[in-house]
Chain A
């Protein structure tokens, strides 16, 4: 197993209150090496908390997170993160943004340039190396962010609703590209989203999360005989979507 979450609970202290807020409760999950796992759930179900824990920016209150069997103790270059709001450094060009992680990894300058250029090519941004983020469209910025995370070659790619701020068409084309990149690089991907369609389209498995407190309700295996043509329009796709929708729905409407 690449990533293992063992009965992870995360609580936050609440101001003026003795009882803490439980963001995640008893979450257990494992992700195989090279797997594409999507996490779907409504806002406030603890998705982002889970991602912070995986990143190592936060530590679980109880339980343990292991990466290759080793407990996660802090952030590191073995995991790459892609944020919804791109988080590009506006004073750096696209190329320099991609180089950022490589600088942190102390890769020599020339090699850095080459690698960064290579990853910009991979995300389809050949020729945009010298552009500043404000000169790029939202979709292009997110491509740069993906290239930046891939460039320092982490084993795991953690993505926090990366396409949520994009228009529908750009989103679909980036989803396709992400799958292509995933297949080309063989990374383990944990992809957080609130869109059921997106979760079904991208994930080999979809972990369905429910809020208050955040739990994983079920993990749905997704497989298609063929991904050719309009995958989203197939009956199979519709079944998956409905199944996940029902799982989410049951929780959203508590016993009357």
Chain B
């Protein structure tokens, strides 16, 4: 099957896949799941191998579609393919469904405070929050806070990757290291990261060091544990197969263990990405002078309630984007893990 094209985003992507499939199995019409991928694979491969390649590019559909003019009259075209229009319609319908809940939430947020079902002092209508958000954006305040937050998140996240991946590889590969570090790891991973925040502040002070450190700490765990699991989870048969070809341990590690573990490692990285944003806010509520967490906390203190919500919206949007990015990246690195 053509590697699920990563180009388009979630919704558009699946719609596109359906239409690609439509060419090989026209009678099924458009189906929602990828179940027929398998059936299209098998030995009947020859015919779809050609279009397998062309299907990789998002923007030029495999033959059909607009194309050059001069339609040949002779052959009746095999069952109608979804043209651009129908495809767009499908994607559109899906998008509507996905956005519906969000719109509903927005409407509820707008209407309930206006009807004073909830106290607008504590939960101002969404429109007011958005106005406050626009004002923060205009004044540049938002960018400053978001920038400070992102810098901390990315620093902690990046350092966590740099430290936890090699350590995880080491633990996963060398049994003695695992046996030695096992109990300590078990102890620490069951200690909530935020419970240690005061300790970090105590030792590293209120500055950037302690904030980046706590993010690093929180991010390191999922990466470390997934890396260890990834290395340990490599199919022993693959190791046997490579060993039988006389691969030395170093080459075995490089050519088999590492590539086999990459998807699992990436799952850890994606989780860590979420943690980096989650922990960030808490870290910034203690002794920060900038950052979205600080903004939220500070706004609440000064009863700038719309600003507080604006900060919250920003941080959730940030988390969402970051996660989306990492999911995309993860998918790219684990296309083969479909068995």
A77-B246, A128-B49 as given contacts; A89 in contact with B259, CB under 8 Å: yes
Q: For the complex formed, measure the closest distance between the CB of A65 and the CB atoms of chain B, giving whole angstroms.
A: 15
Q: Which residue of A lies closest to B43 (CB)?
A: A137
Report whether A137 and B255 are in contact in the complex, using a CB–CB cutoff of 8 Å.
Answer: no
Report whether B244 and A81 are in contact in the complex, using a CB–CB cutoff of 8 Å.
Answer: yes
How far apart are the CA atoms of A127 and B47 in the complex, in Å?
Answer: 11
For residue B45, CB closer than 8 A to chain A, the reply is yes
Interface size on B, residues (CB 8 A): 30
Q: Which residue of B lies closest to A170 (CB)?
A: B43
How far apart are the CA atoms of A83 and B239 in the complex, in Å?
Answer: 12
Report whether A55 and B244 are in contact in the complex, using a CB–CB cutoff of 8 Å.
Answer: yes
Report whether A81 and B241 are in contact in the complex, using a CB–CB cutoff of 8 Å.
Answer: yes
For residue B243, CB closer than 8 A to chain A, the reply is yes
For residue B139, CB closer than 8 A to chain A, the reply is no
Q: Which residue of A lies closest to B49 (CB)?
A: A127
**What are 21 A-B contacts defined by CB distance under 8 Å?**
A74-B246, A75-B243, A75-B246, A76-B246, A81-B241, A81-B244, A83-B240, A85-B237, A87-B240, A91-B259, A91-B336, A100-B242, A100-B255, A104-B242, A104-B245, A104-B247, A104-B251, A131-B49, A135-B1, A135-B45, A136-B45
Report whether B45 and A131 are in contact in the complex, using a CB–CB cutoff of 8 Å.
Answer: yes
For residue A101, CB closer than 8 A to chain B, the reply is yes
For B244, what are the chain A residues with a Cβ–Cβ distance below 8 Å? 55-57, 75, 79, 81
A127-B46, A137-B41 as given contacts; A87 in contact with B238, CB under 8 Å: yes
Report whether B1 and A77 are in contact in the complex, using a CB–CB cutoff of 8 Å.
Answer: no
Q: For the complex formed, measure the closest distance between the CB of A165 and the CB atoms of chain B, giving whole angstroms.
A: 12
Report whether A83 and B237 are in contact in the complex, using a CB–CB cutoff of 8 Å.
Answer: yes
For A55, what are the chain B residues with a Cβ–Cβ distance below 8 Å? 244
For A46, what are the chain B residues with a Cβ–Cβ distance below 8 Å? none
Q: For the complex formed, measure the closest distance between the CB of B265 and the CB atoms of chain A, giving whole angstroms.
A: 13
For B43, what are the chain A residues with a Cβ–Cβ distance below 8 Å? 137, 139-140
For B41, what are the chain A residues with a Cβ–Cβ distance below 8 Å? 135-137
What range describes how many residues of A lie at the interface?
A: 20 to 34
Report whether B45 and A134 are in contact in the complex, using a CB–CB cutoff of 8 Å.
Answer: no
Please report whether the interface of chain B is mostly helix, strand, loop or mixed according to DSSP: helix
Q: Which residue of A lies closest to B339 (CB)?
A: A134
Q: Which of B53, B245, B262, B339 contacts A100 (CB 8 A)?
A: B245
For residue A132, CB closer than 8 A to chain B, the reply is yes
Report whether B339 and A137 are in contact in the complex, using a CB–CB cutoff of 8 Å.
Answer: no
A127-B46, A140-B43 as given contacts; A77 in contact with B238, CB under 8 Å: no
For B335, what are the chain A residues with a Cβ–Cβ distance below 8 Å? 132
How far apart are the CA atoms of A134 and B240 in the complex, in Å?
Answer: 20
For B237, what are the chain A residues with a Cβ–Cβ distance below 8 Å? 83, 85, 87
Report whether A103 and B1 are in contact in the complex, using a CB–CB cutoff of 8 Å.
Answer: no
3 shortest interchain CB distances as A-B pairs: A87-B241, A91-B336, A90-B336
How far apart are the CA atoms of A81 and B42 in the complex, in Å?
Answer: 25
For residue B302, CB closer than 8 A to chain A, the reply is no
Task: Name the interface residues of B237-278: CB closer than 8 Å to any CB of A.
Answer: 237-238, 240-247, 251, 255-256, 259-260, 262
How far apart are the CA atoms of A89 and B256 in the complex, in Å?
Answer: 8
How far apart are the CA atoms of A81 and B240 in the complex, in Å?
Answer: 10
Report whether B245 and A152 are in contact in the complex, using a CB–CB cutoff of 8 Å.
Answer: yes
For A100, what are the chain B residues with a Cβ–Cβ distance below 8 Å? 242, 245, 255
Task: Name the interface residues of B315-339: CB closer than 8 Å to any CB of A.
Answer: 335-339
Q: For the complex formed, measure the closest distance between the CB of B66 and the CB atoms of chain A, giving whole angstroms.
A: 28
How far apart are the CA atoms of A127 and B50 in the complex, in Å?
Answer: 9
A87-B238, A89-B259 as given contacts; A134 in contact with B243, CB under 8 Å: no
For A57, what are the chain B residues with a Cβ–Cβ distance below 8 Å? 240, 243-244
Q: Which residue of B lies closest to A133 (CB)?
A: B336
Query: What would 17 more interface pairs be, CB under 8 Å, given A55-B244, A100-B245?
Result: A57-B243, A74-B246, A75-B244, A81-B241, A87-B235, A87-B237, A89-B256, A89-B260, A90-B336, A91-B259, A100-B255, A104-B242, A130-B53, A131-B45, A134-B338, A136-B41, A137-B43
Report whether B238 and A89 are in contact in the complex, using a CB–CB cutoff of 8 Å.
Answer: yes
Report whether A104 and B246 are in contact in the complex, using a CB–CB cutoff of 8 Å.
Answer: yes
